[in-house]
Amino acid sequence: MVREQYLTTTDESGALSSVSEYIYMIGIYGWRKRCLYLFVLLLLIILVVNFALTIWILRVMWFNTEGMGYLQVNADGLRLEGESDFLFPLYAQEIHSREDSALLLHSSENVTLNARNANGDVTGSLSVGPSQAEGFGQHFNISSNHDENLFYADGNGAVVGKGKLRVTGPEGAVFEHSVRTPLVKAVLNKELKLESPTRSLSMDAPKGVHVKALAGNVDVTAHFNILLHSTTGLLVLEAESVRLPTLPVGKARTSGDSQGMYDMFEVCVCPSGKLFLSNAGVSSTCSEHQDC
């Protein structure tokens, strides 16, 4: 705002003359001044509201010098007391429970644990859902508290590290392929059954196969034939008595009936227990064809 002011002065001749002087006054007046005051008042109100909200958030979230409520921040990491809900994925290097309590993970859908490499690719995963549990990785290993290998599995096979694998299901265990084990044993006072419903069952061992029933019988049942082969050794049946109760009984022949005589044999037994065949005759021919 500029204001013009006139002053009266006297010159050398004594005549009066008027001199104009300009005085500059700087400021905000009128509606601009009122708008400025209103804006400053609005800033003060926003500042007070923000300060009140900050105090309210600090009180509600329980912020303190050690952390936030049950969440404490220390040099070893984060410590969380009580139950917590995570709405998004949780990334952590290690998760430990308290020394006097267990670590529980609950989810209405499933719980998934993923391991990633430096590129962010998933190298191992374990997912536990409402109906099944799934996991994948290069290998799977279960160890005891003393760092003993209990179970190990990879693409080549599975290994049970402890001395015994017990199957307690009523239907037993079903193996689609071969099983390598030094001992197959039934539970005490239970029967042991090895069965192949649609294929053959074979037991191979470089130093021998032993089948023992200390308090019962050994039953071998087949729909067709039961073959016992020994390549270079003997077949020994060691028992108090060896019985063949269902052998067919042949018809008696007369001395003059020699037709088909050489198509029949008789079984002979040596004093050592060895069996051999001899051509059948009217009487025993074992003494004539001894092979003991």
Mean pLDDT, residues 177-191: 78
pLDDT digits (tens, 9 = 90+) for 90-105: 787 778 777 777 777 7
Residue-wise pLDDT for 23-62, tens only, equals: 555 667 778 888 989 999 999 999 999 999 999 988 887 7
pLDDT at 115 over 70: yes
Tens digits of residue pLDDT in 224-256: 888 887 777 777 777 777 777 776 766 655 555
**Rounded Cα gap, residues 260 and 281, in angstroms:** 10
Residue 80 in contact with residue 70, Cβ under 8 Å?
Answer: yes
Residue 10 has pLDDT above 90, yes or no: no
Distance between CA 78 and CA 118 in Å, rounded? 23
Task: Tell me: pLDDT of 158 over 60.
Answer: yes
Number of Cβ within 10 Å of residue 142's Cβ equals 13
Per the prediction, the chain carries an average pLDDT of: 76
Question: What is residue 282's DSSP assignment?
Answer: S
For the ranges 23-27, 126-130, 188-192, the one whose mean pLDDT is highest: 126-130
| More confident: 282 or 203 | 203
Q: What is the pLDDT of residue 54?
A: 92
Q: What is the radius of gyration, based on Cα positions, of the chain?
A: 51
Q: How far apart are CA 137 and CA 155, in angstroms?
A: 10
The answer to whether the CB of 147 falls within 8 A of the CB of 160 is no
Amino acid, res. 182 = P
pTM: 0.40
In this predicted structure, the answer to whether residue 154 has a pLDDT above a threshold of 80 is: yes
* Straight-line distance from the first to the last Cα atom of the chain, in angstroms, rounded to the nearest whole number: 146
Burial 202-238 (b: 16+ CB within 10 A, else e): eeeeeeeeeeeeeeeeeeeeeeeeeeeeeeeeeeeee
As a whole number of angstroms, the distance between CA 291 and CA 119 comes to: 78
Share of the chain above pLDDT 70, in %: 83
CA distance 291 to 101: 79
Q: Which residues contact 22 (CB under 8 A, 6 or more apart)?
A: 2, 3, 4, 5
